Structure 1
Amino acid sequence: MAKTETEKETPKMKPRPIVRLGIFLISHSFLVSVVCCTAGVLALLLLPVLAKNTYISENALMPGSASSLLSNHDIAEANRLVNELSSLNLERKDAGIESQKILARYMSDLGAEVSYHKFHPPQNHFHPLHFFSSPHSGIIGENFSCSSYGVNTVGIIRSPRGDGKEAIVLVTPYNFGRSDSSETLSLSIAYSVFSLLSRVTWLAKDIIWLIADSQYGEHESVAAWLRDYHTPSFTGLVSLNADACVEGNNLYISKDNSVVQGKISDGFGRAGTMAAALVLKVTDRNGLWDDTLSIYAEASNGQMPNLDLINIVNYLAVHRQGLHVQIQKFWSDLDLKWLEFLGKTFELLGKVARSLNPNWKFGIPASDYIEGTTTLASSLYYQALGIPTGPHGAFRDFQVDAITLEISPRVSSNNKARRNEFLLRGGRLIEGVIRSVNNLLEKFHQSFFLYLLTSPSKFVSVGVYMIAFALLVAPLPLVAASLYADANELDFGMKNDKYTPMDTASNEINITFRSWKWLSAAKEVFVVHIWGVIVLLLPYFICQMRDWSPTTSFVSWVFLAMLSLLILYLILGSPFSHGYSLEKGEWAMLKSVTISAIFIGLLLMSVVNFATAEIGALLMVPMSLMAQPLKPDIRAASLRSFFRVICNLVLGFVAFPPVTFFMLKGIFEGPDCINLGDFWNWLESLWAWNSATYIYIGMVHLPCWVLCIHILLHSC
C-alpha cells in the first residue's frame, strides 16, 4: 500500500524541450508576429547590401579568351544588305515578300540552309480547359485566311566540327514591309555575325538565325516557330505548311520565275537541341552614356535563365566592347526620398562597422543601394506579373536558356560616321557570346537558376532572399494555433511556466467537442474559395462579348463577382442569411482557418513564382494578422483601438487586387499611365500566358481578402 501511494505522488514527466518551445511561441504569438514581420521587411530592404558579385561558374565558357574575328569586311557586307533592304519601296504590297527574298538570297549565298515558316496569329481568348496547356496551343481557327499569316525566315549553318545534335539560336525580330532603321540595324549586326560563322572552323554547334516576322508581335512569331520546331509534323499540330496557301509559293519564285539559287527548302528546317538563344534588338533611344546594352531576362511565371548566360554577356560587353550595361528597371524610383534615406543609413552603418573591424564588409554607397533597390524592385515586379519581358520568354517554356539584348547607340543610327563602329561592337559582342556557348559540352547547369539581380554584376541567391519570405510567413501557423486555442479555451499548460496537463476524462471530452467548432469556419472558407474558382472562370463568358471595351469588361467582371458571391452565400449558407453573429471564439476560429489557408497558399506559390508569393506575403500577412471585428474597436473609442481601425482599413484597401495593381503601376510607371481598363488587359495577359499569378489571385489572394473583410465587418 505504501508503494502505491509513492507511485501516486510521483510527478508526471514534462514534455520535450521542442514541445515546450512550440507552446511558448504560440503563447507569445503577438510578440513573435511583430518581431518576424519587422525582421522580414528589414531583410527584404537589406538584399541590395547582401548581394554578391557575379562570377562565371562554368570554366568551359572562357569568355574573351579568343580574339574577335569579325572584320570590317563583314560589316561592309552587312551594310550592303541594309542598303538593298532600304531601297525597297515599302508602299508596294509585295514589299514584305521582296524583303524575305533578299534575306533568303544573302543567307543562301553564305551556304546556309534557308527555309520559310508560316504561322497564324494565336487566338487571344480565354478558355479554362486550355489554361494548363502550353501557351498558345497552336490550333488554327477555321476563320483564318491565307492573307493573315506571318512568315519567318530561317537560316541554318551546319557546324563543321559538330554532329548536329546541338544548336545556338540567334533571333532578330523584323516587321517585313513596315520596318524602321533600328530593326534594319539589328539585321545587319546579325548578318555580319552569321557571315563570319559560315567561314570559321571552330564551330561545334549548329547556328540557327531566325528572322521573326513581328507584324503580329515579336513573341508570337518566335513561339509559333518553337512550337513547330518541337512538334513532329506527322501529329498534324504544326502550323500552316509551306504549300497550304497558293500565294505563299511566291516566296520561292524570283522575278524570272526561277527558283532562287541556294539551299532554299519549302520544308521545316531543324537543327539539334538548343543550347542557348539570344534575341537581338536595336533601339534608337539616345542615352547619356556610351552605347548602352539592356538585358531582359524574365520569362513566364518568373522563370530566369542560367546566371552564367547573363554573366558572359555582361563580362564581354563591359570588358571587351566598353558598353554600358543595365538591367531593366524603373528610373522613377530614384527620386524616392525614403530610399535615399535608407541608402545613407546603410552607408553610415557600413562605415561604423569598418571602423570597428576592417574585415567587416557591410554597407555600400548610397547611390549603389538606390540603384540596387530599384533593379531589385523591378525584377520582383516583372517576375510577379508572370509575363515575359521579351521574345526570349518563348524559349524558357521549352527549358532553353535565353535572354533579350537591346542595344541603344549613344547617337542616332542615321549618323553614318559611327554606324560601322556600332555594328562592329555589337557584332563582336554576339560573336563572343556564341563562341563561349559553343565551348560548352553540356547545357547550362553550374550556376544559379533561382536568383534576383540588383545590378548586371551583382545578384542575390535563393538561399538569401528566401529568408525575408520565411520571416514574413513564420508567424502565420503560430497565430493560427493561438487563435484555435483561444477559441476552444484550451490550456497548453504554460500558466506560470508550470506544466499542468488536463488528463481527466471529462476535460478530454469537452476539448473534443469544442475542437469540432473549426468545421463551421472551414465550411465558410471552403465556400469563399469555391467563389474564387467562379471568379477565375468569369472572364471566359465576358470574352464572348467581342465589342466590349476593357473598362466595360472590368466593371462587368467586378459586378458578376459580387453577384456570384451573394448567390453562393444564399445557397450554401452565410452569416448574413441565418442571422449568425460571430462571437469571440467563432470569429477567432474563422480567422485561424483563414490564416492557415493563406499560409498554405503562399508556400505553394513560392515554389512556382517566388516574386508573386513575396508581394502577396507583404500584402496579406499584415492584413490577416491585424484583422478583427471593427465594431468593438469603434465602441472602445481609445487611441489604441482607433489606430487598429485605421490600420485594418488601410491594409484592406491596399490589399484589394485592383487597388494593388493600380498603386504599383502608378509608382513604377507614373500616375499618368493609369487607366481603369488596364487591370482587365493585365488579366487577359495573365491567362494568355497561363501565368500562375492568375491562379494565385483567384484561389488564394482574393478569397482570403474577402474572408478578412468578412471578419472586419462582423460584430461580436
Structure 2
Amino acid sequence: MAENDEPVKPQPRPIIRIGLFLMSHSLLVSLVCCTAGIIALLLLPVLAKNTYISENALIPGSASPMLSNIDVSEASRFVDKLLSIDSSSVSIDSSSVSIGIEIRRLMAEHISALGAEVNYHKFRSQLNRFHPLQFFASPDPGNIQENFSCSSYAINTVGIIRAPRGDGKEAIVLVTPYNSVKITTGEALSLGIGYSVFSLLTRVTWLAKDIIWLASDSQHGEYAAVAAWLREYHTPSFGGLGKLPSEICHEPSNLSDWKTDAVVETRISDTIRRAGTMAAALVIKVADSSSDFEKDSLSIYAEASNGQMPNLDLVNIVNYLAVHGQGLRVKVEKMQSFLNSWWLRGLGGLFESLGKLARSLNPQWSFGISIADYVEGCATLASSLYNQALGVPTGPHGAFRDYQVDALTMEISRQLSQTYGNRQNEFLMQGGRLVEGIIRSVNNLLEKFHQSFFLYLLTSSNRFVSVGVYMIAFALLVAPLPMVAASLFSDASKLNPVEDQPMAGHVEKPVIKFGSWKWLHAAKTVFIVHFWGALMILVPYFYSHIPKSSAVTSLSIWITLSVISLLLLHLNLGSSGISNSQPQRTEWAYLKSVTIAAAFIGLCLMSVINFATAEIGALLLVPMCLMAVPLRLKVRTLRTSLQIVCYLVLTFLGFPPVAFYVLKGALNGFDNISIGEFWTWMEALWEWSSATYVYICLVHLPCWVLCILTLLHPC
C-alpha cells in the first residue's frame, strides 16, 4: 500500500443513513406525517370492523329464556307496591326518611321470601376532593362529612344467591339504582326487572356463579352508592356504623328495628355479606322519558375512569341479545353537532365514491361506506374519544372498573305510548329476559374476560376500531417530533463549533470537548417550566380548603398565581434569555429541540395511560411545537407575514382555556358559553382524579409556555 493512500472510512449502517436522510428532510417528513395522521384519524369509521364474540364459551342466545309470566306478574305487583308506598307516604307523612325505610323493608321481605340472603349496607355521603398524591393509585376513599346528620346517611339493600353448582369463588353483580327520598317510575321498573331476574335465579339449577343484587340508594349519587359498597366489600371496616346518634336522629336508628317479621329477621343481616370474586357487573336503569323510536331502545354506557373500557365481549353479548333476542334498538352516545356537519358529509361522499371505484376495479375490495354511516360513525367515534379523554365515568359502572371488574350500564327507554300501563308486564318481560341472557352467558365463563379487546373505540353499537388501527393515527402525528428535535440539535451544533485549536508555542495536550453540553442551558429552561407545571397541579388542593367562590373568580386567581409563580421561578432558578456562551441564532434551536423532545415523551407516556387524551393532545400540541420559531418582525414580506399569522393562531388555539372554549363552541354553539365553564370543567377533572388534568398541567401547558418563549426569542 502506498504511503499517501488514506484509509477508507467505513460507510454508516443503513439505519443510520435512513435517519440522516429523514433529519435532512425533516420539514417535508413532518408535513407528510401530520397530514397522514389526520387522514388516518378521519378514516377510522371506514376501517371499523363488525363486532364479534371472541370467547366461544359465552354462546349468547343458545338457551331458551326461562323467565315466565308468573315471574313477571310478581315483579309487576312488586313495582306497584313500590309506587304505592311512595304516594301513600307523601300523603300521610312528609318525612322522606319513612319512604326509604318502607322501600327497604319491602325489598328485604321479598328477597328473603325467595330464600336468598339479605343484608343492609349503611354509608355516609362523601365529598370528592382533590388529592395530588393519589393519582393512578387505589380508589379514593373520599372525605366523610364531619358535620353529618341523618340525611347524610344512605342504606343499600343487598341480596345474595349462593350458586348450587359453584364453589363460592366467583359472582355476578346486578345493580339497580334508586332514590329512596323520591323514587321515580323508571327506578321502580328497574327494581322490578332486577326482582324478576333474581326470583328466577333462586330456582335454577344451572347457576355456577353467585348472584349479588345491589339495590343502591342513590340519594347522594349513583356512583357514590356503588363505590361505597365496593370499598366495604373489598376492604372491610370493623366497628362500622351500627347506629345513628340518637340525640340528633328521631327515626329508628338501628337497622334491626325494621325487622318485624320473625322469618324475615333470621335472613337479614346488619353486617355486609360477601360472595366470590366479581366476574362481571351490570347496572340496570330505566329512563323516565320515553324514546322517539317505534320500539323500545337500549343505551349502552361503557366508559370508566381514565379511559378504561370493559372487555368488548361484554358489550357484544349485550348488543347481540338486545337486538336479536329482544328486538331492542341499541344506541351509543353520539356528538349531536357532528350529525349536521356539512364537511363530514362531504368527506363521506368522497369515501363513498372511492368505495364504488374500488369495487368496480375489484369486487372483492370492501372499502367504502355510505354517507349516513360515515357521519354517524364519526359522531359516535368523537363521543367515544371525548368520554375516554375526559376520564370521568359515564355511570355507576365506573366504580367496578376501579377494581378491574368488567361492567357497563344499560339504560332502557320505553317507546311513546298512550296506554303504556297495559305494557308494563311486556316491558318487564323484555328487560328481564335480556338480563337473564347476559347472566347466562357470563355464567358459562370458566375464567375472567380476556379473549377480546380492552382497548377500542366504538363507531356504532356493532362496529369498533381496535388498538392496532387507531394507534396508526397517533404514531403518524408524533413521528416527526424526534426527527425534528434531532435535526435542530444537529444544525445548532454545526453552527456553533468547538474551539479546540492549540496555541502557538504550546505542546498539544488531550482536552475534553464540552461542545455536546451546550444544550444544558435550554434543558434547564425546559425543566424549570415543567417544574412550574407540576406546582400548578397542587393549586386546587389549596382551593379546596377555601370557602367556595365563583368560577370566574377562581379562574382569575389561578391565572394570576400561575403567571406570578412562573416569573418567580424564571428570576430565581434561571433565565431563558440569551446566553453569552452561544450565539442567539443557535440558542432558540436548542430550546425548541429540547421542548419537542419533552412533548414527545409526554405524549407517549400519556398514550399508555389514556390514549384518547394523547390523541387529542397531539392534534393540538404537535403543530404548535413544530411551527414555533422566533418571529422576524423586522423582515416584512408576504411569506413572513403569513408565518407570523399561522404561529400566532396556533399558539392562541393551543392555550388550554382557549382550546376548551373553541371546541365547546364548535360542538354546542358559542351562545351558551360562559367564562367560568373552563374552571368548572377542571374541577370535575381533579375531583375524579382524571389523568387528563395531569397531562394539561404537566405536558400541554408547559410546552405552550416554551413555544411562547421560542416565538419571543431574539434571533
Moved more, 303-312 or 320-329: 320-329
Moved more, 686-695 or 148-157: 686-695
The whole-number CA distance in structure 1 between the counterparts of 2:70 and 2:418 is 20
Is the counterpart of residue 646 in structure 1 residue 645 in structure 2? Answer: yes
Moved more, 552-561 or 14-23: 552-561
Q: Identity rate of aligned residues, in percent?
A: 63
1:454 corresponding residue in structure 2: 459
- What are the equivalent positions in structure 2 for 1:7-156 lying under 5 Å apart? 8-88=5-85, 89-90=89-90, 91-93=94-96, 94-138=98-142, 140-156=144-160
Residue in structure 1 matching 2:325, options 286, 301, 320: 320
What displacement does 1:187 show? 1.0
2:3 corresponding residue in structure 1: 5
C-alpha RMSD over aligned residues:
2.5
Partner SS state of residue 312, structure 1: helix
Contact persistence 1:306–1:449 (CA under 8 A): yes
Q: Name the amino acid aligned to 1:606.
A: S
Deviations 1:295-348 (A, max 9, x none): 111111101100000000010011111111111112221011100000010000
Partner SS state of residue 444, structure 1: coil
- What are the equivalent positions in structure 2 for 1:316-715 lying under 5 Å apart? 316-411=321-416, 415-489=420-494, 512-575=513-576, 583-630=584-631, 632=632, 634-715=633-714
- What are the equivalent positions in structure 2 for 1:179-194 lying under 5 Å apart? 179-194=183-198
Contact persistence 2:259–2:265 (CA under 8 A): no
Residue in structure 1 matching 2:288, options 273, 277, 284: 284
Gaps of 5+ in 2: 504-508
The whole-number CA distance in structure 2 between the counterparts of 1:256 and 1:412 is 41
What displacement does 1:672 show? 4.6
Is the counterpart of residue 293 in structure 1 residue 298 in structure 2? Answer: yes
What displacement does 1:542 show? 1.8
What displacement does 1:490 show? 6.3
Partner SS state of residue 404, structure 1: strand
What displacement does 1:365 show? 0.8
Q: Name the amino acid aligned to 1:265.
A: S
- Shift of the 581–517 alpha-carbon distance from structure 1 to 2, 3 Å rule, reads closer
Moved more, 90-99 or 45-54: 90-99
- Shift of the 21–110 alpha-carbon distance from structure 1 to 2, 3 Å rule, reads same
Q: Name the amino acid aligned to 1:536.
A: I
The whole-number CA distance in structure 1 between the counterparts of 2:363 and 2:502 is 65
What displacement does 1:17 show? 1.2
Deviations 1:464-492 (A, max 9, x none): 11011000000000000111112111699
Contact persistence 2:621–2:654 (CA under 8 A): yes
1:497 corresponding residue in structure 2: none
Q: Name the amino acid aligned to 2:601.
A: I
What displacement does 1:551 show? 2.5
Contact persistence 1:212–1:218 (CA under 8 A): yes
Contact persistence 2:522–2:576 (CA under 8 A): no
- Shift of the 106–582 alpha-carbon distance from structure 1 to 2, 3 Å rule, reads farther
Contact persistence 2:602–2:699 (CA under 8 A): yes
1:495 corresponding residue in structure 2: none
Contact persistence 2:578–2:587 (CA under 8 A): no
Gaps of 5+ in 1: 493-501
Contact persistence 1:542–1:557 (CA under 8 A): no
Q: How high is the TM-score relative to the length of structure 2?
A: 0.93
What displacement does 1:10 show? 3.8
Q: Name the amino acid aligned to 2:398.
A: G
Deviations 1:192-213 (A, max 9, x none): 1111111111111111111111
The whole-number CA distance in structure 1 between the counterparts of 2:327 and 2:261 is 48
Is the counterpart of residue 232 in structure 1 residue 233 in structure 2? Answer: no
Q: Name the amino acid aligned to 2:338.
A: D
Residue in structure 1 matching 2:165, options 150, 161, 166: 161
Partner SS state of residue 460, structure 1: strand
Q: How high is the TM-score relative to the length of structure 1?
A: 0.93
1:271 corresponding residue in structure 2: 275
The whole-number CA distance in structure 2 between the counterparts of 1:195 and 1:490 is 80
Deviations 1:643-696 (A, max 9, x none): 221221111121111122223333334445433222222222222222111111
Moved more, 155-164 or 308-317: 155-164
Contact persistence 2:290–2:416 (CA under 8 A): yes
Partner SS state of residue 214, structure 1: coil
The whole-number CA distance in structure 2 between the counterparts of 1:476 and 1:695 is 21
The whole-number CA distance in structure 2 between the counterparts of 1:413 and 1:299 is 37
- Shift of the 646–85 alpha-carbon distance from structure 1 to 2, 3 Å rule, reads same
- Shift of the 21–457 alpha-carbon distance from structure 1 to 2, 3 Å rule, reads same
The whole-number CA distance in structure 1 between the counterparts of 2:634 and 2:551 is 43
What displacement does 1:571 show? 1.2
- What are the equivalent positions in structure 2 for 1:300-315 lying under 5 Å apart? 300-315=305-320
The whole-number CA distance in structure 2 between the counterparts of 1:250 and 1:641 is 77
Contact persistence 1:99–1:177 (CA under 8 A): no
Q: Name the amino acid aligned to 2:48.
A: A
What displacement does 1:44 show? 0.5
Contact persistence 1:480–1:595 (CA under 8 A): yes
The whole-number CA distance in structure 1 between the counterparts of 2:640 and 2:166 is 73
Contact persistence 2:122–2:156 (CA under 8 A): yes
The whole-number CA distance in structure 1 between the counterparts of 2:685 and 2:102 is 37
Contact persistence 1:167–1:272 (CA under 8 A): yes
Contact persistence 1:182–1:413 (CA under 8 A): no
The whole-number CA distance in structure 1 between the counterparts of 2:261 and 2:143 is 34
The whole-number CA distance in structure 2 between the counterparts of 1:652 and 1:698 is 16
Contact persistence 2:178–2:215 (CA under 8 A): yes
What displacement does 1:425 show? 1.1
What displacement does 1:623 show? 0.4
The whole-number CA distance in structure 1 between the counterparts of 2:418 and 2:669 is 29
Contact persistence 1:277–1:402 (CA under 8 A): yes
Contact persistence 1:109–1:262 (CA under 8 A): no
The whole-number CA distance in structure 2 between the counterparts of 1:580 and 1:643 is 33
